[in-house]
Amino acid sequence: MCNNSSAKLMAILAFSMAFPTECLADEQVVHASWYGQRYAGHRTASGERFDPKALTAAHPTLPLGSVAEVRRWSDNRTVTVRINDRGPARGRGIDLSEAAARALGMIADGSALVVVTPH
């Protein structure tokens, strides 16, 4: 006979087998902001100098050097960025370089809701 805890565990296991982990964990819906000329030349967490014209981003957990696709929620514009820094500010899920933000059309808005998909 199963107790309540066993039943919950079995349900979680069944759910996780029905949906592969990568489908549940990889895609993140977050608020993005951007940073630009003010930080040009500053060292990033990866040790390289920040270049606002490069397609890069700061993310709190994705591995430095990894690549992610960032899609703007409102209009599906996408850009591929390389993670080279840590951050972003509180309340945000990713900080994009000026070039990446420009590709998504979010310069004037300053921030946007995005979907981040690591590759």
Ordered by where they begin, the domains of the chain are 26-118 (2.40.40.10)
Q: Helix, strand or coil for residue 10?
A: helix
Give the global pTM.
0.78
Per-residue pLDDT of the chain (119 residues; tens, 9 = 90+): 555 555 555 555 454 444 443 444 589 999 999 999 999 999 999 999 999 999 999 999 999 999 999 999 999 999 999 999 999 888 899 999 999 999 999 999 999 999 999 99
pLDDT of residue 4: 57
Nearest 5°: phi and psi at 83? Answer: -80, 115
Taking the C-alpha atoms of residue 71 and residue 74, their distance in angstroms, rounded to an integer, is 9
Q: Give the alpha-carbon dihedral of 58, 29, 107, 64, to 10 degrees.
A: 20
pLDDT of residue 20: 42
